[in-house]
Structure 1
Amino acid sequence: MKIRFSIPKADHEYEQELKQNNWTPLKEPQSIGKATLISIPFMIVNLVICLAVIIMVDGLSWHEFGFTEEGFRFTLSLSHIVWFFAMIIIHELIHLVFVPNFLKSNKTYLGITLQAGFILTEDMISKSRFLIVSFAPFILISIILPIILSWFGLLTPLLKVLIIINGVSSSVDFLNSFMIMRQVPKGGSIINNGFRTYWKAA
């Protein structure tokens, strides 16, 4: 595993090699901005799921989010910012631990940029494992975690907000998974060249 502070670019020679070896380019957005825009429907769905889980296990009120009879009141503290960045790091680390052999791999990257954090592996990975890697942070943080915290009475308003933010920010993961499920046949394999994705049937 390597740490990067920039988004890796595709290697054009490697791209030709992949195509010669019958790897098919995935039809996908070519920038983070486009991917985020296209993923808005998944943001809405994820938001509804997060709210439903929190309401079922602990309840939810407008007052918890700063809305009162006197208006909206919200105080942003340093601890809130720390918690927010901690959640981003945890989200990416969960992706990472589900990547096969991530500790030994020289082609798996933990990325930290001004735009976002990311996990990228250029090792070959199965379709099923790709889906597990993609869905893991949403399932663990936005579904399982609120249930556990509620059992122990630890589901605070701040944690509810962070859980919801995690769910909404998982929309690009869901978009990627949707494209993989639609385009890659069962048993297929996936490989990345930078952020460009290629697949091959079993």
Structure 2
Amino acid sequence: MKFVKKMPPTDRKLSVSLLSDGWKKIKEPTTLFFAILCSIPFMVVNGIVTYLVIKPFYDPIPEIIKTQSINLNINIFAVLAGLAIYFLLLVVHEFLHAIFIPHFMQSDKTCWGLTITGGYVCTTEKLTKGSFVVISIAPFVVISIILPIIIGLLGLMNWYIFFLAFINAMASSVDILNLILILFQVPPKSSIINNGFETYYK
């Protein structure tokens, strides 16, 4: 796996090769912007799910309604710490995608990167449908469901942890969109190959 500064574009030669070998392309958004637009409903659903998971341990909504505001004391150290934790969250989110890619550390077909708005993991490795499902959903399940439950049971839940889990849930919306597209378009026991913003199955 290698670090790249920008998301690799679709390899047109690979697309032609896949189609000539009998692979089929699924119907999906062709740009990141369109994918984000299509994933907005999943942002809402993911946020609600995470809120309901955390609510038994910590519920910030009544306090927000009561004060009609969120009071934050901001200083430069808090801002720097917040940015550091935000980028750490991005790294962990993408790492949770990557670890389920077969032989991801040795794979020369797998890369990852970070931008100011988010991160990405890309691979042209052949995946099973089951692996693709796990790869897609892992960051949402681990960071926004399992981890908050563990922290809540330990009595350590607070506003900041809630906020990070909530942000991760919303940021996972494109992952969930990809998951839904695969579940409804790809037959069981199929193999899947990603090529930029194109996904093929056979």
Query: TM-score scaled by structure 1?
Result: 0.91
Query: 1:49-106: per-residue Cα shift (whole Å, max 9, x none)?
Result: 00100012x12123766x6537442345222222122111111111111111101110
Cα distance, 1:106–1:64 mapped onto 2, change above 3 Å: farther
Q: Output aligned runs, 1:117-156, within 5 Å.
A: 117-156=119-158
CA 1:147–1:8: 2 relative to 1, 3 Å: same
Structure 2 residues not aligned, in runs of 5+ = none
Q: Report what 1:54 is aligned to.
A: 54
In 1, Cα distance between the equivalents of 2:3 and 2:54?
34
| SS of alignment partner, residue 176 of structure 1 | helix
Deviation at 1:154, TM superposition (A): 1.8
1:42-121 alignment, distance < 5 Å = 42-56=42-56, 58-62=57-61, 69=67, 71-76=69-74, 77-121=79-123
Letter in 1 for 2:15: E
Residue 161 of structure 1 corresponds to which residue in structure 2? 163
Q: Distance in 2 between matches of 1:125 and 1:68?
A: 49
Name the amino acid aligned to 1:24. Answer: K
Q: SS at the partner of 2:55?
A: helix
Q: Secondary structure at the match of 2:194?
A: strand
Question: What are the Cα deviations for residues 121-165 of structure 1, in whole angstroms up to 9, with x where unaligned?
Answer: 101000110000111111111111011111222212101100011
Range moving further from structure 2, 111-120 or 3-12: 111-120
Distance in 2 (CA, whole Å) between partners of 1:89 and 1:130 is 19
What secondary structure sits across from 1:104 in the alignment?
Answer: coil
Q: Deviations over 1:158-198 (max 9, x none)?
A: 01100011111111000000000111000011002223211
Match in the other structure for 1:182: 184
1:36-47 equivalence runs, <5 A:
36-47=36-47
Let me know the Cα RMSD of the aligned residues. 1.7
* Stretches of structure 1 lacking an aligned partner (at least 5 in a row): none
Report runs of 4+ in structure 1 exceeding 3 Å deviation: 62-65, 67-72
- Letter in structure 2 aligned against 1:50: T
Looking at structure 2, the residues matched to 63 and 83 of structure 1 have their Cα atoms a distance apart, in angstroms, of: 26
How many residue pairs end up in the alignment? 198
